Amino acid sequence: MVALLQRVKKSAVVVESKKVASIERGLNILLGVVRDDTEKDIEKLAAKAANLRIFSDDRGKLSLSAAELGLPALVVSQFTLAARIKNGRRPDFGYAMNPERAEILYEEFCKELSKYIEVQKGVFGAYMEVEIVGDGPVTLILDSKSF
């Protein structure tokens, strides 16, 4: 499971000209589900995302997490994060999990993350406009296989 996590001042998802989800200060998480992801990947990634100390304390040090501050996350499915670009110029999406199973794991990830923080969601499989107002910017790539 791969996530592009951003600290944001605000973020929203628009589908067919209608805002379907939005948050103020918190996390925007673009989530890619890969073929071999399991429940363990979901648990590790949700805990890591919610508890990363990427928010500043009163001294300006990155020492607080979204969970500690009670900040929400907006989670958007992003299968292109599972692309491989080793050969040629066209991304290979063969490493992405099939959409039916990926949707289940996406929903499970959101449910697991909601144990730590409030979660808003995009619309799985939809064409979405994602509005992101970064804060910092602070942007991290998280791969559940690497921790």
pLDDT tens-digit map of 20-60: 999 999 999 999 999 999 999 999 999 999 999 999 999 99
| Model confidence band, residue 90 (pLDDT cutoffs 50, 70, 90) | very high
pLDDT of residue 102: 98
CA pair distance 100, 104, nearest whole angstrom: 7
pTM: 0.97
pLDDT of residue 63: 98
| Model confidence band, residue 96 (pLDDT cutoffs 50, 70, 90) | very high
pLDDT of residue 48: 98
Domains of the chain (ranges, CATH numbers): 2-136 (3.50.80.10)
C-alpha distances (whole Å) from 43 to each of 80, 108, 130 are 22, 9, 25
> Is 19 exposed, middle or buried, given 0-12, 13-18 or 19+ CB atoms closer than 10 A?
exposed
39-51 vs 99-113: helix crossing angle, rounded to 10: 40
| Model confidence band, residue 123 (pLDDT cutoffs 50, 70, 90) | very high
| Model confidence band, residue 69 (pLDDT cutoffs 50, 70, 90) | very high
